[in-house]
Amino acid sequence: MARRLVIIGGDAAGMSAATQVRRMKTVDELEVVVFERSSRTSYAACGLPYLVGGFVTSPDSLVARTPEQHRAKGIDVRIRHEVTAIDVKASSVTVCDLESGLESAVHYDELLIATGASGVSPPWPGIEANGVLQLRTLDDAAAVERLLAAGARRAVVVGAGYIGLEVAEGLLKRGLHLTVIERLDAPMGAVLDADMGADVAGAIRAAGIDLRLGTSVTGFTVLGGRVTAVETAAESFAADIVVIGLGVRPNAELARAAGIAVGESGGIQVDDHLRTGSPHIWAAGDCVESRHRMTGRHVVVALGTHANKQGRVVGTNIAGGDAAFGGVLATAITRFQDMEIARTGLSEREAAAAGFDALGVTTEASSRAHYYPGAQPMKVKLVVERGTGQLLGAQIVGGANAGKRIDVLATALWNRMTAAEVSGMDLSYAPPFSPVWDPVLLAAGKADAML
C-alpha cells in the first residue's frame, strides 16, 4: 500500500509541495491528499488589489491551477474539507467535510501543515458589519464589486501597509472618495524608515487621498447591519466600504493544539529542511517562522515568494530528497500609482533594534541617464554597519524602473557584501536604462564614503 502524505491547506506552499512530490514520486509510492477548507486552490491573493482596481479584469486569471487540474496531476485535492485536529500519536488528522458536516479521521505517514495566515482583525465594535472586509480571497473581491454596484462612494482603508495602499489605489481608480487611516506616523511604517515613508505619504496625498497618520480606529458606526462610518478618538469618517489591511498572523493554532512547537513570532518552528519538532510533521508557508539572514532571528514574513520556495523545498524533502530553505531578507516591492516602493533586509530602525551600530545613508539618483527622456528621480536608502561596512538593508522609493533594483541589493545582502564591494560591481549601463553610475552603485559609494 502506498504511503500517504496529508497536506493541510491547498494554496501556495501546500500545492507547491504537492506538485514537487508528484515530480519525484509516483502515486503508488506516495499518495498525496490535500485538505483545503475553501473551494479554491493556488490562487494569486497578491493580485486581488489589482482586480479591485480593474487593472486585472478576470478573477479566473488569478487562479494558477484549479482543484481539477491538480487532481489530473495525481494530487487528491479535497476542497471544502477542514482539518480540525492533528493526533500526533495516532498519526492522523480529524477532517470535517464542510458540505456534509461529517467528520472522519485520516491516517498520514507524512504530514505537511500549510495552513497559511489570517488577516489581523481587531475586536473593534462593529467590525462584523456588512461593508467591512479584508481583501484576502476572491470572495472578498466579489464582495467589493457588489458594494460598488450598490452605489458605494466613500471608502476607508484601515492600515497603510502594502495591501492597504494597493487597495486604496484600486478603489481610487474606481472613482471612490478615499480615506486611509494609519496608526503609525508614516505609511508602510513596519517596513520603511520614516524618511522614506514621508515620500510615500506625499504621493498618497497628491493622489487626493485623505491620509490620516498617527490615528487609531476605535470602532464602526453600523446602521441596519451595514457600516456607515469609521470611528477614531477625534473624528468619524463616513464609509460605504471599509477595507482592513493590518497584516496577517500565522494560522498556527492547529499545530499548537497538537503540541507542535510554535515560536515567539507566532509562527510554527521549523528547521532549514522545514521539519517541525515532531517526527514526520513538516510545515511551510505563511504559517511558519523563517530565519532572517541578517539577524539570525526567527520572523514571520508572509509572502507568496517564500511560500512557493518553501513548498518546493519541503516537497523535495518529503519525497526523500535533500533541500534547504535559505532564510529570508524580507525583500518586498509594491507600487502606489507611478511610485515604486521596495525594501530588503533591515531598516535603520530594525537594525538598531537588532543591536547593530547602523548608519542610514540616502542617495538621490536618476533612473536613467539625466539627458534621456523619461528619466525619473529615485531615492536609495542603504543601511550599513559602522566598522565593518556591511550592508544591512536597503529601501528604494522612485518612479518607473526604480523598484526592481532592490533585487541587486537583496543579492548583495544575501552574499553579505560591504558597501565598498557593492560600489565596485560591474552592473549594466546604457542611457535608456541607467546613469553611468547606476543608482545602486552611487548609493553604495556614498554609504562607503560616509562610513
Where in the sequence numbering do the catalytic residues fall?
Answer: 46
170 binds a copy of itself (CB under 8 A): no
Using CB under 8 A as the binding rule, whether residue 401 contacts a copy of itself is answered as yes
How many chain residues interact with a copy of itself (CB under 8 A)? 67
> Which listed range, 31-39, 47-55, 185-193, 225-233, lies at the site for a copy of itself (CB under 8 A)?
47-55
Task: Compute CA 287 distance to the chain's CA centroid, rounded to the nearest angstrom.
Answer: 12
Instruction: Return the range that interacts with a copy of itself (CB under 8 A); candidates 76-84, 85-93, 274-282, 434-442.
Output: 434-442
Residue 326 interacts with a copy of itself (CB under 8 A): yes or no: yes
Helices 194-206 & 162-173 angle (0-180, nearest 10): 10
Told to check if 327 binds a copy of itself by CB under 8 A, we report yes
- 320 binds a copy of itself, rule: CB under 8 A: no
Residue 42 region, left (φ>0) first, then alpha (ψ -120 to 50), else beta?
left
Segment near a copy of itself (CB under 8 A); pick from 65-73, 102-110, 259-267, 413-421: 413-421
Closer CB to a copy of itself, residue 77 or residue 375?
375
Q: Which three cell numbers stand for residue 160?
A: 497603510
Q: Does 407 bind a copy of itself (CB under 8 A)?
A: yes
Instruction: Determine the Cα–Cα distance for residues 285 and 148; give it in Å rounded to an integer.
Output: 33
* DSSP letter assigned to residue 115: -
Residue 47 in the binding site for a copy of itself (CB under 8 A)? yes
Length of the chain counted residue by residue? 451
Q: What is the CA radius of gyration of the chain?
A: 23
CB-based burial label for 372 (10 Å; 0-12, 13-18, 19+) = middle
Contact status: 150 vs a copy of itself (CB under 8 A)? no
Taking the least distance from each CB to a copy of itself, the nearer of 64 and 352 is: 64
Q: Does 306 bind a copy of itself (CB under 8 A)?
A: yes
Q: Residue 237 CB, nearest distance to a copy of itself (Å)?
A: 28
Q: Among the candidate windows 29-37, 92-100, 140-148, 336-344, which touches a copy of itself by CB under 8 A?
A: 336-344
**Is 296 an interacting residue with respect to a copy of itself (CB under 8 A)?**
no
Sheet holding 81-87, edge to edge: 81-87, 92-97, 103-107
Nearer to a copy of itself, 5 or 341 (CB): 341
Residue found under cell 497628491: 206
Cβ pair 431, 372 in contact under 8 A: yes
Positions 366 through 395 that interact with a copy of itself (CB under 8 A): 369-373
273 touches a copy of itself (CB under 8 A): no
Examine residue 437 and tell whether it contacts a copy of itself (CB under 8 A).
yes
Residue 429, classed as helix, strand or coil, is: coil
Query: What backbone phi and psi angles, to 5 degrees, belong to 123?
Result: -80, 55
Phi, psi of 448 (to 5 degrees): -60, -40
Question: Is-contact 368 405, C-beta < 8 A?
Answer: no
Assign 210 to helix, strand or coil. Answer: strand
Min dist CB 368 to a copy of itself, Å, is 10
Listed residue (338, 335, 375) closest to 46, CA to CA: 335
Interacting residue ranges for a copy of itself, rule: CB under 8 A: 12, 44, 46-47, 50, 55-56, 58, 61-62, 162, 293, 303-306, 308-309, 324-335, 340, 342, 344, 369-373, 401, 403-408, 410-412, 414-415, 417, 421, 424-434, 436-438, 440
